[in-house]
């Protein structure tokens, strides 16, 4: 298969849906030679902040001289973003080559009576295969959904399990309470291992602590209360903090929002743990460089200056709260426009209740996804909060209209779906380049 044929093969496996369980992944990886068993994995689960935390960890290790795999989902602009080594996307020819191998193994599986693997199971297997071929020193591995039965959880051991912020999301699959969801996320914790944990609600904390107790695993809560923020604006944040006995003064990150300071501290705690328990060397200089060089597209990301255009993947209650807090801090008193599209299986009402009252006008669109809510239906919901709302059926029409009807002093935010903002990012950047030409 060539690259496009490989993507088509992966996409067609979407029809097999989401099937929680590890039997298929175990069998597929066994046929591939169990590549995951050769990897040193930092395994990250949670509702919000997984990707940012993985990216911080990966960049610090990379600055320390290590070869690092980074596995995240979904992608924003190109499929190959999901599987990276030292910041470089997996080459298209490697995707084609590995998927051709995987297809052959899947045919054997199906003949033996196994289910056809799902899209995520196939991509995860490809990632393990590629990282093993590349002989990486570490992998920062983001869980796709949940944790306990997620395809990434085929790993028998990890260097450390990391659980970032836990809140309601994917309630139809993971459970309708925070405690049920926390239990699924805590499924990545290994026997006699260690878990580095975000400061959680008591409901989530109790569950994660209980799982740690059952598995004789350490529970290490990150000390967010030690933070002293020196600077925080739309360009960067500078803070000091203490992690264990280590004091850091004037660390700088380029990701925006208070939650990103917390996510970077999660990464600092991970690095501290593996330094002390796994015998690796990471200098303070590497830590500082790794933090400041970390970029994470689509998370309160400024993609244009005039007008100010920011994209954010806020699609659940906690994500909406983080975005609202950043808006309040950075754009109080400004004319704010929201370009929004959402998937029907998200907690739409909670997101709208938090975000919409902060905007002067709203443009709705329909994300290019079978689970998308129609833009007219979304506009009807939004009109309960703000009268100035208009619908544009395609993302391209929505971006064009938004830019044409905004002044250079306006602030535009696009949010609601990671599946949408990647397209928005590409369209806005291309439009800005045309203006510059």
CATH code of 224's domain:
3.40.1190.10
Q: How far apart are CA 364 and CA 393, in angstroms?
A: 8
**CA torsion sign, 140 to 144 to 148 to 151?**
negative
Are residues 272 and 346 both part of a single domain?
A: no
SS3 87: coil
Give the strand pairing for 160-163 and 194-197.
parallel
State yes or no: cis peptide before 307, omega within 30 of 0.
yes
CB 55 within 8 Å of CB 70: yes
**Between vectors from CA 332 to CA 330 and to CA 336, what angle results, nearest 5°?**
95
Q: How far apart are CA 136 and CA 39, in angstroms?
A: 7
CA 1 to chain centre: 29
Are residues 253 and 399 both part of a single domain?
A: no
Are residues 144 and 278 both part of a single domain?
A: yes
CATH of the domain at 419: 3.90.190.20
Boundary of a domain, candidates 293, 317, 348: 293
Q: How far apart are CA 311 and CA 365, in angstroms?
A: 14
Q: How far apart are CA 343 and CA 47, in angstroms?
A: 16
How many domains, in total, are found in the chain? Answer: 2
* Tokens found for residue 436: 């510059």
pLDDT score of 436: 45
pLDDT score of 19: 67
Going by the DSSP 8-state scheme, the letter that residue 317 receives in this structure is: H
Give the strand pairing for 83-85 and 88-89.
antiparallel
- List, in sequence order, every residue forming a beta bridge with 143; answer none if it has no partner: none
Are residues 81 and 154 both part of a single domain?
A: yes
CB 413 within 8 Å of CB 363: no
Are residues 117 and 55 both part of a single domain?
A: yes
H or E element in which residue 301 lies = strand 301-304
Gyration radius from the chain CA atoms: 21
Residue 66 belongs to domain spanning: 3-293
Are residues 15 and 74 both part of a single domain?
A: yes
Are residues 230 and 142 both part of a single domain?
A: yes
Going by the DSSP 8-state scheme, the letter that residue 261 receives in this structure is: H
Are residues 170 and 124 both part of a single domain?
A: yes
Helices (H), 168-221: 171-174, 178-185, 202-214
Tens digits of pLDDT across the chain (437 residues): 999 999 999 999 877 666 667 999 999 999 999 999 999 999 999 988 999 999 999 999 999 999 999 999 988 889 999 999 999 999 999 999 999 999 999 999 999 999 899 999 999 999 999 999 999 999 999 999 888 999 999 999 999 999 998 876 544 455 568 888 999 999 999 999 999 999 988 999 999 999 999 999 999 999 999 999 999 998 899 999 999 889 999 999 999 988 999 999 999 999 999 999 988 999 999 999 999 999 988 888 999 888 899 999 887 888 899 899 999 988 988 899 999 999 887 778 889 999 999 999 999 999 888 888 999 999 999 998 888 999 999 999 999 999 999 998 899 999 988 878 989 999 998 876 554 44
- The CB-side HSE value for 13 (13 A sphere, CA atoms) comes to 21
Give the strand pairing for 336-340 and 308-311.
unpaired
Going by the DSSP 8-state scheme, the letter that residue 310 receives in this structure is: E
102: phi then psi, degrees, rounded to nearest 5 = -65, -40
Are residues 97 and 235 both part of a single domain?
A: yes
Boundary of a domain, candidates 258, 293, 328: 293
- Other residues' Cβ atoms within 10 Å of the Cβ of residue 387: 9
pLDDT score of 416: 82
CB 198 within 8 Å of CB 165: yes
* Tokens found for residue 170: 């994917």
Q: How far apart are CA 83 and CA 130, in angstroms?
A: 8
Question: Over 218-241, what HEC string results?
Answer: EEEECCHHHCEEEEECCCCEEEEE
Boundary of a domain, candidates 293, 314, 330: 293
Are residues 233 and 316 both part of a single domain?
A: no
State yes or no: cis peptide before 74, omega within 30 of 0.
yes
Are residues 122 and 212 both part of a single domain?
A: yes
Helices (H), 13-168: 23-31, 50-63, 92-111, 119-133
Are residues 377 and 251 both part of a single domain?
A: no
Q: How far apart are CA 62 and CA 280, in angstroms?
A: 12
Q: Which candidate, 139, 180, 119, places its Cα nearest to that of 55? A: 139
H or E element in which residue 299 lies = none
- List, in sequence order, every residue forming a beta bridge with 243; answer none if it has no partner: 246
Q: How far apart are CA 203 and CA 201, in angstroms?
A: 5
Going by the DSSP 8-state scheme, the letter that residue 432 receives in this structure is: H
Q: How far apart are CA 261 and CA 270, in angstroms?
A: 14
């Amino acid at each position: 298969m060539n690259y496009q044929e490989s993507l088509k093969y992966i996409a067609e496996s979407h029809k097999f849906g989401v099937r929680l369980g590890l039997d298929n992944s175990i069998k597929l990886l066994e046929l591939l030679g169990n590549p995951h068993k050769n990897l040193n994995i930092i395994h990250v689960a949670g509702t919000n902040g997984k990707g940012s935390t993985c990216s911080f960890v990966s960049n610090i290790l990379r600055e320390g001289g290590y070869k690092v795999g980074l596995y995240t989902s979904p992608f924003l602009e190109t499929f190959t973003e999901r599987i990276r080594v030292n910041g470089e996307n997996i080459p298209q020819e490697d995707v084609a080559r590995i998927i051709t191998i995987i297809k052959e193994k899947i045919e054997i599986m199906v003949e033996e009576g196994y289910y056809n693997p799902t899209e995520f199971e196939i991509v995860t297997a490809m990632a393990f295969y590629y990282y093993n071929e590349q002989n990486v020193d570490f992998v920062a591995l983001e869980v796709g959904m949940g944790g306990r039965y997620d395809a990434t959880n085929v790993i028998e051991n990890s260097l450390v399990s990391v659980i970032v912020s836990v809140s309601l999301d994917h309630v139809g699959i993971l459970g309708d309470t925070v405690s049920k969801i926390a239990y699924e996320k805590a499924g990545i914790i290994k026997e006699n291992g260690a878990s580095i944990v975000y400061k959680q609600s008591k409901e989530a904390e109790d569950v994660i602590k209980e799982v740690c107790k059952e598995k004789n695993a350490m529970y290490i809560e990150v000390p967010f209360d030690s933070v002293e923020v020196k600077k925080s604006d739309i360009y960067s944040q500078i803070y000091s903090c203490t992690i264990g006995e280590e004091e850091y003064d004037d660390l700088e990150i380029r990701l925006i929002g208070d939650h990103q300071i917390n996510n970077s501290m999660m990464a600092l705690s991970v690095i501290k743990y593996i330094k002390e328990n796994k015998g690796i060397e990471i200098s303070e200089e590497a830590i500082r460089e790794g933090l400041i060089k970390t970029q994470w597209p689509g998370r309160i990301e400024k993609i244009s200056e005039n007008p100010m255009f920011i994209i954010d993947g806020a699609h659940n209650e906690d994500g909406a709260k983080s975005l609202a807090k950043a808006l309040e801090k950075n754009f109080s008193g400004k004319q704010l426009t929201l370009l929004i599209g959402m998937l029907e299986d998200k907690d739409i009402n909670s997101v709208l209740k938090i975000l919409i009252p902060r905007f002067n006008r709203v443009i709705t669109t329909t994300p290019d996804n079978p689970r998308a809510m129609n833009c007219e239906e979304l506009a009807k919901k939004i009109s309960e909060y703000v009268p100035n709302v208009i619908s544009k059926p395609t993302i391209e029409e929505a971006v064009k209209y938004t830019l044409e009807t905004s002044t250079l002093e306006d602030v535009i935010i696009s949010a609601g779906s990671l599946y949408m903002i990647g397209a928005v990012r590409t369209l806005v950047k291309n439009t800005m380049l045309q203006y510059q030409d």
